[in-house]
A and B are shown apart, each in its own frame.
Chain A
């Protein structure tokens, strides 16, 4: 349970009470460039086309946000018996259409770039059924919010890790919703995604509030512990927001010193229209 969204909102309430107008502005900060580092983002899913690996490099803060793909890497994924060599279809994007993952299998990723070697393993957990998706209304601090809500039953007596990816009108939201079943083990759940938009129309559409008539789509991923840790630490320390923890690189399951992660997970998806 992340209480941060609550605390964040209540601190704006605090400003109101203290008769304080906080002031926000863009500033110019000189950030030194550093040696570029490789970034590997690899997935194996139980869906067709889900096995893919992005290989890229970090960029300086002042550069644009596009990806600097790394071509010519040798990328392999093995399930212990069969090894698949991924083919590059665009700059830095490697795929293995024939590889569809199965729960209970541990997959091994190997990436060779020149003389450098990176590897990781991930176990695809059993799928926990996504029972339903709907939105419910809740009054959050100053405004009524439509909260996407997912019903499912957490299996008792085992560790389960979930990640939800939220799309509204086919625009992906930036927020990371990664949960473990610590404190909720074995219970039927209605997990609401506390996405709080900024409500400013002309701004970045990725920050829009969820309104009546919007199409809400949620992907539910069942991941292993290391991948949960990666996304949990990414959300708390590497998104650029002072989300509490000291800024740091997320805890990765990759060996060899690259950024990123390798995840074998199940994927389910549902969509609903906001009433």
Chain B
């Protein structure tokens, strides 16, 4: 058992030089004074020599020599907290930070959650502040954190106006999207134009595109860790907004002041109500809307325990009279218990529920039927953070999830000619054990090393298949309920190193292996709510990615600017695609027979220059990258560009605070068009034009570029009331960006033409937001 040996060696930590003087541990929680929200990532330092930052629950611990010290806590727009402390035994110091008075009177914005951490080995990670999310102009003014991260290097949008993501050459399903630790399987609304995350309910978003810490796993290319607000435990606070397509309301407040709080946040689009106003029955019969509901309860139980209960419910409804309707949505629930065992040992226990389903209803002529599919997870996570000493910070834990997938069920209603069809349900038990240590080896050198051991058990009951090279079933194996079909064991090493070159610059390197056992099959070029989730089977192997990354980080001009440059190489195994002519809606249980398996590689260079403070803030990002796949049976078995292969990807984001009343923002993006398959020729079949293809993704869509503008006007503030008007213009110079290019006969039928469809041009929006407390 090498793994256990490694585990033990982790615990034999390097403690050189720690015994020279009597040491004590100070620990506590950092909160915001105004609303009691815990503060994530605040810097805690003692005498400027002992430094740490708060974890995702606002907790910190620091080992210092006994005696008197200068104690300081800093975070973004909060006033720095400074105190003299005298400690002679392990102590708890809880801090409430006050909003910086300065940021109200003068105009000093810190758009970024603190300067980049040159010393930390963590690389490939970005935190996005909700402040930035509120300022960046987006389509129809619907503030969206997922659209803001698309402006960062290495993260690409999955289509014009869309919220889907491709991270460092990964596919759309290779992103782990977590909302309060629960997996969100489909993070999009309205066919992908909006994300499921209502910006008003979100506290923090961190995206890891590389160097994933060992507590994360299950997807190959990224982790989006999204935390909901905890709820104000000081005052009742009501905020809301009315925009062009949606209205939002957010209510939070104390249940017991300072001890417990609640939060309810809702959003619903109402554009469909205009449809109802129409006299035309063809229009007012239609349905099209979505809503989101976030709720959270949060209890402080004594000094050492905190309990959170959070939930999310989102639903899309789309329908045309009785003829056709498509509903889909996510539900998640998290019960989380933070416990401080001692000033050095912090524990988090979570029980998690997650569900995604869609239902299609069709009624045409005598036929009426429904298609239903869902994926449900029950999960438990236990994590410990052990602040062993100032040089070693250990995390270890266990995660166990049970997945149930219902791939598709057709139910006929009445005298329909359809037969009821049930695809086999699939069950799996997904476990992971992990441990990692962040070791400050010297003042300049830090390492995070760890390992994640994943064990994915495929459970009966059900039939599993053996296939020949052409995908034909050669044997069917039947399993009983809860019988193990196969268990995939994988060791996922995680290693990150940082070396501080000067006080202003550092280099970092990392290696991670990620394993993915839930795969989404998509036959189409755009994401669809009906894309199919599949678990690994005896034939579908776990996808594996090894990523190597190297980075250089530098603060410029006294920290007002920062530059980071990262390069990565990613090697992907067991990638999945449909065979040509695959039937996506089928009653055939052996879906594997429609699939092909292959490999991928992705590499790139990412630049980010960011200005963090002053009237003008923002960033410039540039990514140069290549993404390829090689799957036998596609493109004559040769390597080909993945659809998301975009050579150049540039984003410029600028936010300018003119005065207390007005702020302006703009962003401009440019990227090489997606790789796309165009015909090499044509011929006639059954008297109609058919197209001849020789190469997968051998062509490019036209280059994409777009400018968006935004402005926010603060309206007159009263004591407890503030409000603002936001304006935005999406695609301000009206570039006709190609959404789809199709090929068809000319009107006279004598020749063939290429037709380009473009969507959003000059899309204006206005929204009104208020806050009352």
Contact = CB atoms under 8 A, between A and B. Distances in A.
Contacts of B696: 246, 248
A174 B323 contact: no
A51 interface: no
B681 A33 contact: yes
B744 to A, nearest CB: 6
Interface stretch (A20-28, A73-81, A125-133, A264-272): A20-28
A141 to B, nearest CB: 5
B323 A138 contact: yes
A183 B687 contact: no
A16 B365 CA distance: 27
B323 A139 contact: yes
Given A19-B763, A25-B756, A232-B583, A13 B286 contact: yes
Contacts of B585: 1-3
A240 interface: yes
Contact of A136 (B365, B523, B744, B753): B365
A250 B679 contact: no
A165 interface: yes
A113 interface: no
B757 A9 contact: no
Contact of A29 (B326, B581, B754, B759): B754
A3 B360 contact: yes
Interface string A169-198: 000101000000011111111101000000
Contact of A17 (B288, B689, B758): B288
A247 B693 contact: yes
A105 interface: no
B580 A14 contact: no
A16 B285 CA distance: 14
A65 B752 contact: yes
Interface stretch (A35-43, A115-123, A210-218): A35-43
Contacts of A82: none
Contacts of A61: 679-682, 743, 752
Contacts of A229: 581
A274 interface: no
B501 to A, nearest CB: 46
A195 B418 CA distance: 21
Contacts of A204: 745, 747-749
Interface size range on B against A: 35 or more
B678 interface: yes
B32 interface: no
Contacts of A17: 245, 271-272, 274-275, 288
Interface residues of A, number: 93
Given A138-B365, A183-B587, A233 B751 contact: no
Contact of A18 (B193, B360, B741): B193
A259 B320 CA distance: 39
B679 A247 contact: yes
A15 B759 contact: yes
Central interface residue in B418, B678, B679, B756, by most chain A CB within 10 Å? B679
Contact of A10 (B324, B679, B739, B756): B324
Contacts of B365: 136, 138, 147, 149, 190, 192
A257 to B, nearest CB: 12
A54 B585 CA distance: 33
B684 A67 contact: yes
B742 A240 contact: yes
Contact of A251 (B193, B417, B580): B580
Nearest to B420: A183
B483 to A, nearest CB: 29
A91 interface: no
A193 B756 CA distance: 27
A182 B761 CA distance: 43
Contacts of B583: 182, 232
A268 B318 CA distance: 39
Given A65-B751, A143-B282, A260-B685, A24 B580 contact: no
B364 A251 contact: no
B419 interface: yes
A32 B680 contact: yes
A242 B694 CA distance: 17
A273 interface: no
Given A204-B749, A241-B742, A37 B581 contact: no
Contact of B683 (A28, A58, A149, A242): A58
A92 B626 CA distance: 45
Contact of A6 (B140, B362, B587): B362
A98 interface: no
Contacts of B743: 61, 240-241
B685 A22 contact: no
Given A3-B362, A3-B585, A187 B417 contact: yes
Nearest to A24: B757
A248 B693 CA distance: 6
9 smallest CB-CB distances across A and B, nearest first, come from: A233-B581, A240-B743, A251-B581, A58-B681, A247-B677, A244-B524, A34-B680, A187-B417, A39-B683
Given A39-B684, A182-B588, A240-B742, 20 more contacts: A1-B418, A3-B362, A3-B530, A13-B318, A18-B271, A27-B738, A31-B679, A56-B683, A56-B684, A61-B743, A65-B689, A65-B750, A136-B365, A138-B323, A183-B410, A184-B417, A184-B418, A232-B583, A248-B580, A250-B581
Interface of B: 140, 190-191, 193, 244-245, 271-272, 274-275, 282-283, 285-286, 288, 318, 320-321, 323-324, 326, 360, 362, 364-367, 410, 417-419, 421, 523-525, 528, 530, 578, 580-588, 677-694, 696, 699, 736, 738-745, 747-761, 763
30 contacts: A15-B759, A17-B288, A20-B759, A20-B760, A22-B757, A23-B757, A23-B758, A27-B756, A31-B679, A36-B681, A37-B681, A37-B692, A39-B685, A61-B743, A64-B750, A140-B323, A141-B320, A149-B365, A192-B365, A204-B749, A233-B581, A238-B693, A240-B679, A240-B691, A240-B752, A241-B742, A241-B743, A245-B578, A245-B582, A247-B679
